[in-house]
Amino acid sequence: MNENSPAANALKLIVFRINEEQPFYGINVFKTFEIQRAKHFRISEVPRANEYIEGIVYIRNQPVPLVNLPRWLKTELSEQEERNSSIIFCNFNNIQIALRVGGIHQIITRDWQDVLPLKFHEYMPVDRNLNYTLLDDGSSVCLILDVEYLLTEVLPHEFSEIQEDVQNLPLNNVEIPESLKNGTILVAEDSRSAQLYLKNFFEKLNLSFKIFEHGGPLLEYVQGISDLSQIPLIITDIEMPIISGHEVIRQLKSDSRTKHIPILVFSSMTNDQSRKAVRELGADGFVGKRSVEQMLKQLVATARIPLASSFS
């Protein structure tokens, strides 16, 4: 497998700044599909858009909303900085957005054990969970954007629609496996918005669950359980600090005690490369973070492993 593949338990980041006074920020390379100078694009304003949406830009024959990332980060670009700014085109959960940033600094690769949570809750909102890593100089901090949180504020209708879909989910013809009804589903997910979505989803289905901030505490919890039959399914995100979803899958599927437990990957990295990578590691199913109906379908199918694979 290619060492730059996401399955190599590493995170590849595009590092950028808003301006010289701002810190370094990072965004996953695998969530981006192009970087361009902003001056090459005409911006079409959108009536009644929220304060973070500058307008629409066209790329590859389709319109993409342009997010003013400096504004979301509570700062503004000068006219000169705006002329010199760049646009990062991204795909999250099959939603294409463009992020206006300042200058691109570099591209770095980090092991997930070198990505750490930054939690200073006395002055940072608890749901704006930030992860960070260090640049090559060993002292410059690079803050990693919480993309799910960004989308809830920039495109709030997308998040509200998902919550409505959970509440309106038809369950009349759904047969929930007995293993899910009688056991406790374990989840590794560091995004607050994704945690809320999953909490509402499981409560809608009347299923027992436990959510962990990343793969480390989940693995510790599993290791401490004597009766593993009480774990019918494990759900894990891919991108998490310290212990990533790749490492969760690798450890559980290489252990004779836990290799039988079905694992469903729950990720905003929905490209074919990500699906292939986790499947090669041993994951039993994959679902994106936006489709509630697909989540239900994959939940049921993966819980029935090894009767049938839930990969399409």
Could you say which of 121, 154, 187 is where a domain stops?
154
Residue 78, both tokens: 């000068």
Rounded to whole angstroms, what are the CA distances from 97 to 53, 91, 150, 168? 10, 6, 11, 27
pLDDT (0 to 100) of residue 1: 38
Q: Is the pLDDT score of 250 beyond 50?
A: yes
Task: Give dist(CA 15, CA 27) in Å, integer.
Answer: 7
Residue 294 lies in a domain: yes
Summarize pLDDT for 27-64 with one digit per residue, the tens: 988 888 999 999 999 999 988 888 999 999 999 889 99
123 domain residue, yes or no = yes
Residues 128 and 38 in one domain: yes
Q: Is residue 1 situated within a structural domain?
A: no
Structure tokens at 154: 């920039």
For residues 209 and 291, membership in a common domain is answered with yes
pLDDT in tens, 151-177: 888 887 776 777 788 888 888 888 999
**The whole model's pTM is what?**
0.81
Last residue of one domain, picked from the residues 127, 154, 181 = 154
Question: Which residue range is the domain that position 166 belongs to?
Answer: 159-303
268 exposed, middle or buried (CB, 10 Å; 0-12, 13-18, 19+)? buried
What backbone torsions phi and psi does residue 39 show, to the nearest 5 degrees? -65, -15
Number of domains within the chain: 2
Whether 128 and 25 share a structural domain: yes
The answer to whether residue 310 sits within a structural domain is no
- Looking at the fold, whether 111 and 176 belong to one and the same domain comes out as no
Q: Do 91 and 61 belong to one domain?
A: yes
Q: Supply the pLDDT for residue 105.
A: 95
CA–CA separation, 74 and 262 (whole Å): 43
Are residues 173 and 99 part of one domain? no
Q: Domain end: 154, 187, 211, which one? A: 154
Same domain, 95 and 207: no
Provide the CATH number for the domain around residue 95: 2.40.50.180
DSSP, res 290: S
